[in-house]
Structure 1
Amino acid sequence: MTGTEIQPLHGQTVAPIEWPTVALAGVIYGGYLAVTWWWASLSLPLVIAGGAWLIAWHGSLQHEVMHGHPTRLRWINDGLGWPPLSLWLPYALYRESHMLHHRDEFLTDPIEDPESSYFTRQAWERLGATGRRLASWNTTLLGRLTIGPAVMILAFLAQEAMQLRKGDPARLLLWFRHGVGVAIVLVWVVVICGMPLWLYLLGFVYGGASLSRIRSYAEHRYADHHEERTAIVENSPVLGLLFLHNNLHVLHHRRPGIPWYRLPALYRRDRQALIALNGGLLYNGYGDIFRRYLVTPHDEPRHPSYLENAAKDR
């Protein structure tokens, strides 16, 4: 193997049932039921920390199952990811938008990539002065962790409200099913377990979204070549487990069908080739990202391509 070759996956056939992922789902759902059931017997910081971790971990599990794990049957996989523990995001819409995100040639494009955090020139100007200040703060890691979840959730719900006003029966049915799931979750949490709604919304939902924003914050950055738009975060055993090794993000984009528990070994094997592929967009753990970007913007919020096009139009 040369420094720029990624080896084929000889001997890396995927099992019909990936038991590590099945066990992981059991741990996540079991942990969720335990923390919500016994919340009153635990300290408030432990409830909040445990709830946020489990919601973020559940989001990582949803990401895993939508890529064809842990079985070869999509309906089983989707069933594992469907329960709306985070309340606001229907699994089916998450899956739909994330599959569009995996068109790597469009990564970071604010129109073509649903997970882009960049703005077109026109969208940036429509924000107004206050909106632009908030958007600029949201490009820092501290901003992403504090106002980032609110920006993400409110923007998504506003966009979906516009879609629902069009009266698409399939969309309405999707949200009806999601609403049934949300009702079941809230009956369990608030009625059966007696947890205050504010605690679930702030500690579990908002806290979990904030933890997840650590992963997505520096995952992608605009570059002229799309292979160089996806980052790698090494040396992160704790958050790496929370994110199911999606911190090795360029490997995930290169081979999205590889189960989470195989990613570290494959990354170690092909490390030099992957770093060469992404142009050296590499961080030494999430502490490195915190040091660089806690109060410093990760990038200009306006997408360079649209700024260039605007300049040409003048």
Structure 2
Amino acid sequence: MANMLEHRGGTDSAAVPLPDTGERVPAISWPIVGIFGLGIGTFGVSAWAALTGALPSVATIALSAASIFVLFTVLHDASHYSISTRRWVNVAFGRVAMFFVSPLISFKSFSFIHISHHRNTNDGASDPDHFISGSPRWQLPFRFPAMDLPYVGFVLRNIKRRPRGEMIETFGLAALAVACIVGATMTGHLWTLAVVYLIPERVAMFVLAWWFDWLPHHDLPDTQRENRYRATRNRVGGEWVLTPLLLSQNYHLVHHLHPSIPFYRYVAAWRKNEQAYLDRDAALITAFGKELDAGSYDEWKRLNGQLAPLLPLRVPAGSTATKATAHTIPVAEVRHLTADSIELTLDVPADLRDQFAFRPGQHITIRHTVGGEQIRRNYSLCTPAASGDIAIAVRRVPGGVFSNYAVESLSAGDSLEVMTPTGNFGPQLDELARDHIVAVAGGSGITPILSIVRTALAIQTETRCTLFYGNRSADTTMFLDELRDLEYRYADRLRVVHIRSAEQNHPADLRGRIDIDLITELLREDLRSVDSWFLCGPAEMTTTLYGSLIEQGVPDDRVDIELFHGVQRSGDPDGGTAATATVTLSGIDHEVEVASGDSILEASLRGGLDAPYACMGGACGTCTAKVVSGTATMDQNFTLDRGQVEAGYVLTCQARPTSSSLCVDYD
């Protein structure tokens, strides 16, 4: 902190040691491998379409330009040797990408040029990219598509300083490029070459010059040597669209400060040491061009920053249904997750959307008739609560009537009887929260946890999440790809730890079953510092962890558990008080007699009422109602919080009267 205060007093920020990001070059950068394959594949499809006439020229030009744009990031990371710890891997990727981006110079020459830019940022002719960043604005439309042409001049000016092999490769590539153009002209195929490559390459150069060079550097007077914190800038706001669109170059300042960090880790590096960068007066600008200093950045972020993207997300309000009501809903899609599990997406009609809105962590009840008998099964919603999508995951249970039917026979176009969302598992969302959420899931317990994590990361943009997920093996892990995608998208705020009990190749410290000792070791921070805990999985794991956390001093109001299967009432069947109950359901009062030992729900169903229920074991909350008058006691409660109980709410499957008369309202 002394260095930070010293800088504010006038010390040159370029002399202040950089914060340690903790980021290292990976053995192999899989995101680079992915976009490399995407870029090459897209270019191949575009070339084929151009040669066969399968697509109009404008479409093939757009596809090829997009592929070249993407391949520039491969070239860029290769030039900093951040694709792999093996040098030859970087060179191999760089040479292939260079051929597509601009075959006028070799990969080694480009690396020399680009590193010169880093050393001499904004320093006139010494900076190869000053041709763009220092251009008068009226010349920009002409300079953008010619971004790489001054590179040739830069190489020629330094030809005596460069290795002979590099120069031979550069001149060889340039000669090959010229020969291809001349050959295409002489054979009458110049237009084909133009559509396949020449025009798309100039379009890509225009966008690259604009996004990767001009936006980060324009109108900044400081050079890299004078002030490395103000020689380039971060462009903040709208990260949900700018970060993927610019391939993280909206955090270009991080790249200049830590050039070896892979592109997909820029945001994580900034978040880790944000205050340290602010104390060094880092150059910041909003997505719409407003310059920010450290003070205005904090205020902007609080009021606008993460809360005002182009399409802001808001805290979901939940269902408008006053109680769980059943509707016939078509199945939109059935997608296999593992050999014994599926994701089932429902096509909720527009007029029911408000009733099927939900909060993350809630569930729906499926009613299904088999052999004339109706069964009810609860399934947690796994989609983000603000997405508008309604989906559940079903894992086959040995002897399970509905789960076997769903996995084996259910298909798109079928219909199911579905009750509106219920349940109290999940966070109280706040857009301004800066929480640390830890979630623990076992097996299919990932379904509500996935919804919670997806929603919290999207809405609480300063919140971070740690997920411990236990399974037997990778083959039995539901939503494995979705979790990997989430990690890439929220690399700075999400950590997923896979713990497997029956996979010998899994790291030894991550094998076994989830318990408090394992979580304490892997979390590496005080359990009591976590703002919210969410536990869902096998009952033994969930309840044991809950007890262990409480023993470790974690306040019980920070720990939320979800059980898929309740425990049937074990109380004395002759206990309780016989009572006359007035049950309000759908605005109508019904009088039912409750025998000694019966629950309110049992009496209601015996009286012919269509009262909402599902698990009958106190775990789901579907049968929640409010005791308006009289008294009742619950045998067990796994879903209502203390405030709801104090307000008079009960789980009617577990509630027995303790007064001779009472009124219960399901509405």
TM over 0.5: yes
Greater Cα shift, 235-244 or 264-273 = 235-244
Counterpart CA distance in 1 for 2:26 and 2:163 is 39
State the partner residue of 1:114.
128
Quote how far apart the aligned CAs of 1:62 are: 0.4
Residue aligning to 1:222 = 221
User: Which structure 2 residues correspond to residues 141-180 of structure 1 after superposition, within 5 A?
Assistant: 143-144=139-140, 146-158=141-153, 160=155, 169-170=164-165, 172-179=167-174
2:216 alignment partner, SS class: coil
Among all aligned residue pairs of Structure 1 and Structure 2, give the percentage whose two residues are the same amino acid.
21
User: Is the alpha carbon distance of 1:16 and 1:288 closer, same or farther for their aligned partners in structure 2, counting shifts above 3 Å?
Assistant: same
> Which has the larger displacement, 266-275 or 246-255?
266-275
Query: Aligned match of 2:79 in 49, 66, 79?
Result: 66
* Mean Cα deviation higher: 199-208 or 169-178: 169-178
Tell me how far apart the structure 2 counterparts of residues 143 and 275 of structure 1 sit (CA, whole Å).
33
CA distance in 2, matches of 1:117, 1:261: 27
How far apart are residue 149 of structure 1 and its match? 3.5
Distance 1:29 1:275, change over 3 A: farther
**Distance change in 2, residues 1:216/1:281 (3 Å):** same
Letter in 2 for 1:35: S
Amino acid at match of 1:217: W
- Does residue 94 in structure 1 map to residue 130 in structure 2? no
Q: Structure 2 CA distance, aligned partners of 1:154 and 1:230? A: 23
Q: Check 1:165–1:263 CA distance in 2 against 1; reply closer, same or farther (3 A cut).
A: closer
- Residue 192 (structure 2) pairs with residue 199 (structure 1): no
Give, in whole Å, the separation in 2 of the partners of 1:66 and 1:172: 17
Q: Which runs of 5+ in 2 are unaligned?
A: 5-16, 291-667
Find the counterpart in structure 2 of residue 41 from structure 1: 54
d(CA) in 2 for partners of 1:88, 1:239: 30
Tell me if the contact between 1:21 and 1:69 (Cα under 8 Å) persists in the aligned partners. no
Is 1:281 paired with 2:283? yes
Please give the per-residue CA displacement for 1:181-204, whole angstroms capped at 9, x wherever unaligned: 7489889x999x997123245531
Alpha-carbon distance change, 180 to 236 in structure 1, aligned in 2, over 3 angstroms: farther
Structure 1, unpaired ranges of 5+: 120-134, 290-314
Question: 1:97–1:114: 8 Å Cα contact kept in structure 2?
Answer: yes
Distance verdict in 2 for CA 1:91–1:167, change over 3 Å: closer
Q: Would you say the 8 A contact 1:109–1:118 is kept in 2? A: no
Give the Cα separation in 1 of the matches to 2:229 and 2:161: 37
Q: Scaled by the length of structure 2, what TM-score is found?
A: 0.35
AA in 2 matched with 1:206: R
Which digits, 9 at most, give the CA deviation of each residue in 1:108-142, with x for residues without a partner? 112433333389xxxxxxxxxxxxxxx8xx432x7
Paired residues of 1:245 and 1:263 also in contact (CA < 8 A): yes
CA distance in 1, matches of 2:152, 2:87: 27
How do 1:19-30 and structure 2 match up within 5 A?
19-30=30-41
8 A Cα contact 2:109 2:155, kept in partner: no
- TM-aligned CA distance change 1:203 to 1:274, over 3 Å: farther
Using the size of structure 1 for normalisation, the TM-score is 0.68
SS at match of 1:283: strand
Instruction: Choose from 264, 267, 283 the match for 1:264.
Output: 267
Bigger fraction of residues in helix? 1
Q: 1:166 to 1:196 in 2, by over 3 A?
A: farther
Cα distance between partner residues in 1 of 2:163 and 2:230: 38
Does the residue aligned with 1:207 lie in a helix, a strand or coil? helix
**Retained in 1: the 8 A contact 2:254–2:270?**
yes
Q: Deviations over 1:31-86 (max 9, x none)?
A: 11121122332233322222222212211210111212322122221111113113
Does the CA contact (< 8 Å) of 1:100 and 1:113 recur in 2? yes
Aligned partners of 1:31, 1:288: CA distance in 2, in Å?
A: 33
- Segment drifting more, 88-97 vs 59-68: 88-97
3-state SS in 2 of match to 1:233: strand
1 CA distance for matches of 2:81 and 2:162?
31
Change (3 A) 1:108 1:166: closer
Aligned to 1:310: none
- Offset, 1:237: 4.3
Give the match for residue 298 of structure 1. none
SS in 2 for 1:219: helix
Q: Aligned letter for 2:170?
A: W
Larger relative contact order (C-alpha < 8 A, sep ≥ 6)? Answer: 1
Conserved 8 A contact 2:25-2:82:
no
Matched residues in 2 for 1:154 and 1:13: separation? 33
Shift of 1:161: 5.8
Structure 1 residue ranges (4+ consecutive) displaced by more than 4 angstroms after TM superposition: 1-7, 158-169, 179-187, 236-239
Q: Is the 2:77–2:263 Cα contact (8 Å) retained in structure 1? A: yes
Q: Secondary structure at the match of 1:71?
A: coil
3-state SS of 1:257 partner: coil
Alignment-derived partner of residue 385 in structure 2: none
Deviation for aligned residue 1:236: 4.3
| C-alpha contact (below 8 Å) 1:275/1:282 kept by paired residues | no
Query: Structure 1 residues 114 and 167 mapped into 2: Cα distance closer, same or farther (>3 Å)?
Result: closer
Task: Please give the secondary structure, in 2, of the residue aligned with 1:93.
Answer: helix
Secondary structure of the corresponding residue to residue 107 of structure 1: coil
Quote how far apart the aligned CAs of 1:13 are. 4.3
Across the two proteins, how many residue pairs are aligned to each other?
A: 263
Alpha-carbon displacement from aligned partner over 1:263-295 (angstroms, at most 9, x marks no partner): 222222333432443x3522222x538xxxxxx
